[in-house]
Amino acid sequence: MEKLQKTVEEWKAMLDPEQYNVCRLKGTERPFSGKYNETRTDGVYHCICCNEPLFDSSAKFDSGCGWPSFYEPIADSAMIEIRDVSHGMIRTEVTCAKCDAHLGHVFPDGPPPTGLRYCINSVCLDLVPR
């Protein structure tokens, strides 16, 4: 996959301040505040930074964590996993494979069939309904 690269100025012009903070600076939105936390619309969730498809709504589930949760990405090649030792924890960060946008984290406490919970910030996503 060819990487999408932009300057800091280009990202700031394209994204709103919250999107920039989360996607480019590895921030997070407040739990239960994101527009997709309770959404049940059928469709595909795309990266807000590069429009790459990331998750199908059929893999979305209610984990109760306060962020949209998915048990698998649309393709393994859609994301990159990175060890994250910030905030006194050991976690696995997930970023968009095309543009390196921070999306959230993946945890090994999800439902079958994968047992994974991709905990993703709504501001990183754009839902395209079917």
pLDDT tens readout for residues 48-84: 999 999 999 999 999 999 999 999 999 999 999 999 8
pLDDT tens readout for residues 7-27: 999 999 999 999 999 999 999
Instruction: Quote the pTM value.
Output: 0.94
Is 49 known as a binding-site position? no
Residue 28: which residues within 8 A CB-CB, separation 6 or more?
A: 22, 104, 121
Burial 42-68 (b: 16+ CB within 10 A, else e): ebbbbbbbbebebbbbebbeebeeebb
Active site residue ranges:
119
Q: Which of 63, 62, 70, 64 is nearest to 125 (CA)?
A: 70
Is 47 known as a binding-site position? yes
